[in-house]
Amino acid sequence: MQSLEEQARRYATEVHAAAGQRRKYTDEPYIVHPAAVVELVRSVTDNEHMLAAAWLHDTVEDTGTTLADIERQFGAEVATLVGMLTDSSQPQAKNRAARKVAHFRHTADAAPEAQTIKLADIIDNTRAIVQYDPDFARIYLVEKQVQIGLLQQGDATLWQQAKVTIEQGIAQLREKPYNVPEAWFTRQAAKYVL
């Protein structure tokens, strides 16, 4: 019999592949991202529900999977964690900043276990975005800096790692060839009124 985590890994691999998802910058199969998130989570816990939710964290947002599907196959605890990580659509939001603020509030209210998975997600995504898309990274890093300030209940080790990863990304963008002034980051952060 397969473990809950192995079932989640197989499921996530299948549904992301069926949706034709690939990593944006590398064209690798999308599952490399959940796998990286799982390994970061595993570095701080062996909780099988958290590991399963880490594999599944993008399935509801990015595939035809529903939270009901997750609950039916993996139980209420995993579905609850995935729900806490899922960015719900915000049709009333006027712009990106408003949509992100709504999502930040959603994850700020999440359980510590979900916040830990979100921190791992931020770490992995930040590394890729800074490396492959420095133009978008300018906005993304500001958003993630704001968001991790609200994820204080997540694992302290991953919180610190996320903070350092974001700070390193910002420092890299402040140097040549990008030369983004510190004041630019400060002005952008002001858009995210919580």
Catalytic positions: 61-62
DSSP secondary structure, 34-51, as one string = HHHHHHHHHTT---HHHH
- Token pair, residue 144, equals 């993630």
Output the CA–CA distances (angstroms, integers) from residue 99 to 8, 90, 104, 149, in the order listed. 29, 6, 9, 17
DSSP assignment, residue 190? T
Across 3-132, the runs of DSSP E, i.e. the strands, are: none
Going by C-beta distance under 8 Å and a sequence separation of 6 or more, which residues neighbour residue 186? none
Chain centre distance of CA 95: 20
Residue 105 CA to residue 132 CA, distance in Å, equals 28
